[in-house]
Amino acid sequence: MNQGLYNAVFCVGEQKVDPFANATIDFEKVIGDMRLGGYEISSLNVAEFIVLHFLDDMRQFKNGIISDALEVENKDEYCNKKYGVSFKDIDALDPTSDMEWDLKSGQVLLFLGHDVQYKEDVYMKIFSEVLHNFCLDTGFIYTKLGETI
């Protein structure tokens, strides 16, 4: 993403679009964290910061599943029973590089990258509730193979 594209989508004309209009997140905390990290405070950077933190949270959640599975004798059986997918499939998930985001029609969109769309079912089994709640909290939209959550 770049600032010029962001301005073209959100900040041109009389009818400016607010990508955060439906967000119920704590913006004071987000801005405070951004200032601590030395980020420039702009709408584009806020959206990116929110997405990157969410993807990192997803990665940490996945790592927790992996850690729990390593404690049991049969990792695949444990993961299949608890999550409905194999240990190998869960281990192959990398939200911080698999997930992408973009701006379109005044909305922040999240989606799986083209090369990893085959992982969609596994992502939905592991992260559907978390992803749904994130979209409710932020007003961002996740698009799933042509569907919108």
Is 43's pLDDT higher than 80? no
Give every CB contact of residue 107 below 8 A, 6+ residues apart in sequence: 19, 140, 141
Query: How far apart are alpha carbons 52 and 127 in whole angstroms?
Result: 16
Mean pLDDT calculated for residue range 25-29: 86
pLDDT tens-digit series, residues 92-139: 999 999 999 987 777 889 999 989 999 999 999 999 999 999 999 998
Whole-model pTM?
A: 0.81
Domain chopping of the chain, boundaries: 26-148
C-beta separation of 109 from 138 below 8 A = no
Is 1's pLDDT higher than 60? no
Three-state DSSP class for residue 147: strand
**Distance linking the first and last C-alpha atoms of the chain:** 22
CA distances to 18, 45, 52, 100, 147 from 117, rounded to whole Å, are 29, 26, 19, 11, 13
Confidence of residue 40 (pLDDT cuts 50, 70, 90): confident
Whole-number average pLDDT of the chain:
86
